[in-house]
Amino acid sequence: MFTDEQDIDRTLKAALDVRPSADFEAGVRSRIEQERSTVRRGAWPAWLAAAAVIVLVAGGWLVVRDAEVQPEPQQAEHVPAPAPAPSDPAPAVTLPASPVVAEAAPEAPLREDRAAVPPRMARRAEPEVIVPANQIELIQRLLRDVEAGRVEMPKPEAVAAAPAQLSVPPVAVDPIPVPSLDPDVPPAPPVKGLK
């Protein structure tokens, strides 16, 4: 079929002497444009999801910040109850003297010292949140809405009271009779309930 290697080369060169159609380059450009528009459309859900996450993080940060700013409940016998925070309509609760409170008494001096410290420094160090530049405006808008009362943030729950002491009656467990190993001694009768 082929005379020699040169014949093979010639046939192969001829077979590969082909050109793409006239609209090949236009086809490439159209695919690139299609991919760009797909990326743009796909970016929307990702952008919305990112914005939703930022809103949730900012909301959570505000909740945590408010919880930290509120002073801790004081003992009636040592320190007077603090005035309620402006955002909290419920009055401060004075804890009755109780064994739980008495146990906590040694911590009172520390609370007094903390009360003497300016509220800003009493707060725990807040974690730094890095916000992308194009989302700062969104967060600022959220904060303004929260401050203006247009957005309701969930109120922090009240400090849970210490759980009541449980009284657990002692449990008596009868020893299980172990059968004797002496072959002359007959085995003990089986314990009720055991098979």
DSSP state at residue 123: S
* Interface with another protein, residue 44, by CB under 8 A: yes
- Least distance from another protein to the Cβ atom of residue 135, Å: 15
Of 30 and 87, the one with the shorter C-beta distance to another protein is: 30
DSSP state at residue 150: S
- Least distance from another protein to the Cβ atom of residue 40, Å: 5
- CA 184 to centroid of chain Cα atoms: 69
Of 37 and 165, the one with the shorter C-beta distance to another protein is: 37
Question: At 75, phi and psi to the nearest 5?
Answer: -80, 140
* Interface with another protein, residue 133, by CB under 8 A: no
Of 31 and 123, the one with the shorter C-beta distance to another protein is: 31
- For residues 50 and 58, give the distance between their C-alpha atoms in angstroms, rounded to a whole number: 12
- For residues 75 and 96, give the distance between their C-alpha atoms in angstroms, rounded to a whole number: 8
Of 19 and 195, the one with the shorter C-beta distance to another protein is: 19
- CA 8 to centroid of chain Cα atoms: 69
Positions in the binding site for another protein (CB under 8 A): 1-9, 11-21, 24-25, 27-28, 31-32, 35-37, 39-41, 43-44, 47
